[in-house]
Amino acid sequence: MSADHLPSEFEVLIVGTGLPESIIAAACSRIGQKVLHVDRSAYYGGNWASFTFSGLLSWIEEHKQEARNKDEVKEWKDKIQEGEEAILLNTADKTITNVEVFCFASQDSEDNIQEEGVLQLKHDSSVTAPGTEEDGGSSEDCPGQQIQATVINTVESSPSEDPVRSDSQASAQATDDAPSTQEENHGNLCSAESDKQESGVTEHVSASPASECTDGKKKKITYSQIVKEGRRFNVDLTSKLLYAKGSLVDLLIKSNVSRYAEFKNVTRILTYQNGKVEQVPCSRADVFASKQLTVVEKRMLMKFLTFCMDYQQHPEEYLDFKDHTFVEFLKMKKLTANLQHFVHHSISMVSDTAKTTKGLRATQNFLQCLGHYGNTPFLFPLYGNGEIPQCFCRMCAVFGGIYCLRHAVQCLVVDKETKRCKAVIDTSGMRISCKHLIVEDSYVADEQRKGDQHRQISRAVLVTDKSLLKAESDQQVTLERLEVEYMNWTIFYLVHLTCPSSGTAKEDLSLVVSRLFSENVDADEKVLWALYFNMRDSSVAERSSYNLPCNVYVCSGPDSTLGSDHSIKQAESIFGQLFPDEEFCPPAPNPEDVIYDGDGAEAENAGFGAPLEPEHNKPEEGAVPEQENEKAMTETEKNTTVTPVSLATCDNSTEQDAE
């Protein structure tokens, strides 16, 4: 919506479209509150967003440049009335640092590389769409050349990296949290025939990694190919998974927001042990089929996991070890080294220092999530994590919430007497009054913070041409500290690495990358393209760490854990403070039960439509580049064999009837 037509009065104003903000927006709108939801970016999700490859390249550009002064900002001082004072907000995002890009794929002579099928026009229109960022046009009107230049630069700089330095950094980092290696095998989400023929690679609809690999070898993948195929995958800024029985899945089902999204089950979990990447047997079927375990180990593992399922019922088994670490407990249980590794790093995923009960609880949680949607406890949104905030936004819009992207807030207007925030003034100089204000942490100016409460997350996104399972490395180092999320497309594999930062992302993660992949161009498995960046983790900040009016609430950005529990908890708690007597996200009614003011035609289009086409009813009419891409994706998706998991209907594993 163009800012000119915005109403000037709202009950709840929400700044930032990350996960917690979007959940609060949906919850408020659902109970009939008048909600305005804005974001400074042209896309939904903030640091939770997912991009196509070219979208990611634009994002990189944006975050490589220094935050510039917004000199075009309209004057706001005249909007402040007597008895009021202003609190300035950040209009630029400073949460992403140390962005580094490396390209190892061969460059070819094509001058103008861009995603196939993406209309140049769309980029342009998105740039000229009503917004406030004056720099958009120059950076985006010819993305191909820009990207090319970037890549050449970084390739030149890559040999200068000091292996010794990165070594020490990574080992220091090895004392931190967040173990586990996960792999996601997404099968073939896309299989557009025309693209395949042009690039000369044989199309294989088989999801088996082996056949994928032979495909990859047939032809060296060039950078232009990645860009061309870039529309086929979405890259998450924040790499997260949904626990099948976790709070996010519960909320999605409870609120009926799940109907807007589709999910895939993570098919296998890998771990790196003794220099090898192995599959972790976590379900009964996995244990049965596993070739790495002896039958005795199978029994031990199953016995231990069965115990963990209801460990509270058997206090005698663990109470003596309550004050010992989980690792010691596993040793006491006489599990073999192999099994200890699996349980500790891949199933419980707790740190070395975690106590027995914490490890048991984590293991129990993992096991309880198994079998609901498949063989692993994890789900993943079909079009990336960026889907989830958008789904909540959509729910908000369905119940009357108003959306405005590329719309930043300059300052809060605070009543000097009540010390409450009465209104905000946006970047177009308009004054919008509100009763409650929710802002994402990155919008809060440093002056309003009491000390720096932030941690950092190190992230790496790798595009590779080979599955991790086939990867072999002769180094005897373990990779327990990192999360590797992993998906494969027809010819590319995407690897996500996440860990709490101790240095820059490159320093933290490059050793792991070199362990997993040989960066030698001639090697069989290689990284084609790599992106490193640090993201601010504001999840530790508490309400008392901000100097803000009492009716202003701050949501944190993504944290480094695997699930999204923190965000859900935060959203629910903020909603509870706003409306203590209201239910949090009650189920949305069935479309046919909603009574509309207008005629029936309108009712049919109420946004409760089939979840298969989530993009057609996006709660925003402004041209966002992803929107177009995802629409195309939905269309190709229909021709494939992928059967997406639907949350509401998939829980049939428990009701098998006996013959």
Residue 244 or 396 with smaller CB distance to another protein: 396
What distance in Å separates the CA atoms of residue 410 and residue 432, rounded to the nearest whole number? 11
654 is a site residue for another protein (CB under 8 A)? no
Residues 6+ apart with CB under 8 A from 161: 506, 510
* Count of residues engaged in binding another protein, rule: CB under 8 A: 44
The closest alpha carbon to 25, from 399, 385, 386, belongs to 399
Is-contact 602 596, C-beta < 8 A? yes
Residue 14 or 444 with smaller CB distance to another protein: 14
Contact set for another protein, span 621-640 (CB under 8 A): 621
Return the amino acid letter for 588.
Answer: A
What distance in Å separates the CA atoms of residue 27 and residue 20, rounded to the nearest whole number? 11
* Shortest Å distance, C-beta 458 to another protein: 37
For residues 25 to 44, the per-residue mask of contacts with another protein, x marking binding by CB under 8 A and - elsewhere, is ------xxx-----------
Work out the number of other CB atoms within 10 angstroms of the CB of residue 246.
22
* Shortest Å distance, C-beta 579 to another protein: 11
Return the amino acid letter for 307.
Answer: F
154 is a site residue for another protein (CB under 8 A)? no
403 is a site residue for another protein (CB under 8 A)? yes
Angle at Cα 519 formed by Cα 516 and Cα 522, nearest 5°?
Answer: 120
For residues 410 to 449, the per-residue mask of contacts with another protein, x marking binding by CB under 8 A and - elsewhere, is ----------------------------------------
Residue 617 or 634 with smaller CB distance to another protein: 617
Is-contact 76 429, C-beta < 8 A? yes
Q: What are phi and psi of 214, to 5 degrees?
A: -65, -35
Question: Which 8-state DSSP code applies to residue 51?
Answer: E
Choosing from 606, 613, 639, 648, the residue that interacts with another protein (CB under 8 A) is 606
Choosing from 313, 598, 610, 638, the residue that interacts with another protein (CB under 8 A) is 598
- What residues pair up with 50 in beta bridges, in sequence order? 236
612 is a site residue for another protein (CB under 8 A)? no
Is-contact 538 16, C-beta < 8 A? no
Choosing from 184, 441, 508, 620, the residue that interacts with another protein (CB under 8 A) is 620
473 is a site residue for another protein (CB under 8 A)? no
Choosing from 198, 542, 602, 613, the residue that interacts with another protein (CB under 8 A) is 602
Return the amino acid letter for 42.
Answer: A
266 is a site residue for another protein (CB under 8 A)? no
**Window contacting another protein (CB under 8 A); options: 141-149, 151-159, 285-293, 511-519:** 285-293
284 is a site residue for another protein (CB under 8 A)? yes
What distance in Å separates the CA atoms of residue 538 and residue 453, rounded to the nearest whole number? 7
Contact set for another protein, span 577-596 (CB under 8 A): 589, 593-596
Cα 18 to Cα 14, 40, 50, 73, 413: the distances in Å are: 10, 12, 11, 24, 23
Kindly provide the residue ranges of all beta strands, DSSP E only, lying in 187-256, ordered along the sequence.
235-236, 242-243
658 is a site residue for another protein (CB under 8 A)? yes
Q: What are phi and psi of 54, to 5 degrees?
A: -70, -35
* Shortest Å distance, C-beta 89 to another protein: 24
Mapping DSSP to helix (H, G, I), strand (E, B) and coil, where does residue 644 land? Answer: coil
Choosing from 4, 109, 200, 296, the residue that interacts with another protein (CB under 8 A) is 296
Contacts to another protein by CB under 8 A: 1, 31-33, 284-285, 287-289, 295-296, 298-300, 302-303, 394, 397-403, 589, 593-598, 602, 606-607, 617-621, 652, 656-659
